[in-house]
Amino acid sequence: MSPHRRARAGWAVGAGPSGGRGLRDYTAGVAVPRATETEEGGEVNASTPVIEEAQANVGATVMGRNMFGGGPGPWRQDPSWNGWWGDNPPYHTPGSVLTHHPREPLEMEGGTTFFFVVDGIESALEQAKQAAGDRDVLLGGGASVVQQYLAAGLVDEFELHLVPVLLGDGERLLENVGDLQVQQVRAVEAPGVTHIKYRVVKDR
């Protein structure tokens, strides 16, 4: 399972509602992300194959309640919260949302259906694996969810996208992850970002 988080100097998300402005600016003009948002054109640079690889074999996504949104506590009913992305989320695959509050599956346009999992990270991962078949499971975040999966030894590889933004505060991605050992797979320098891919060492 591969979590893809964007961080600077160990911060995963900045404090406050903005969550760290500027962390994704490097994707704004790149051809691949624009194509997934039904926009044409865009620049092809060193980030392009990295993003293409990240998107190529995803069969399901796991995310936390905060990533899906809607606030803490029981799900509101009128109006119901259906995510940040409108009627056609960018995933186009099944998504498992970790939560403490039950909710019926939410079918959206474009092939995305969100399933709300109340019995822990292992159950969410198992459901995502079944939905993904022989494709990858993407760990979408947020930081606490990534930490839980890393600490449990359930992540195979992850990629950090380092951008020159000084947040000053926020959530540290690699805290509370136990005795994590990794091997660097590659480092790609691109305009406004450096992509570093790691493989988690499990057999020691």
pLDDT tens digits for range 161-193: 888 887 777 778 888 998 999 999 999 999 888
Spatial contact of 49 and 190, defined as CB atoms under 8 Å apart = no
Report how far residue 178's alpha carbon sits from residue 194's, in angstroms, rounded to the nearest whole number.
25
Contact 96, 124 (CB under 8 A): yes
Phi-psi region of 95 (alpha: psi -120 to 50; beta: other; left: phi over 0): beta
- Residue 13 banded pLDDT, cuts 50, 70, 90: low
Pairing of strands 58-64, 157-162: unpaired
Q: Residues 33-92: pLDDT tens digits?
A: 544 555 566 788 888 898 888 888 899 999 999 999 998 999 998 889 999 999 999 899
Tokens of 95: 């998504």
d(CA 167, CA 12): 9
Please give the CATH number for the structural domain made up of 2-70+87-200.
3.40.430.10
Domain boundaries of the chain, sorted by first residue? 2-70+87-200
d(CA 133, CA 97): 18
What angle in degrees, to the nearest 10, is found between the helix axes of 143-151 and 121-132?
90
Q: What is the model's pLDDT at position 203?
A: 78
* pTM reported for the whole predicted model: 0.83
Calculate Rg over the CA atoms of the chain.
17
Q: Token match 């933004």: residue?
A: 165
Query: Tens of pLDDT along 140-150?
Result: 888 899 999 99
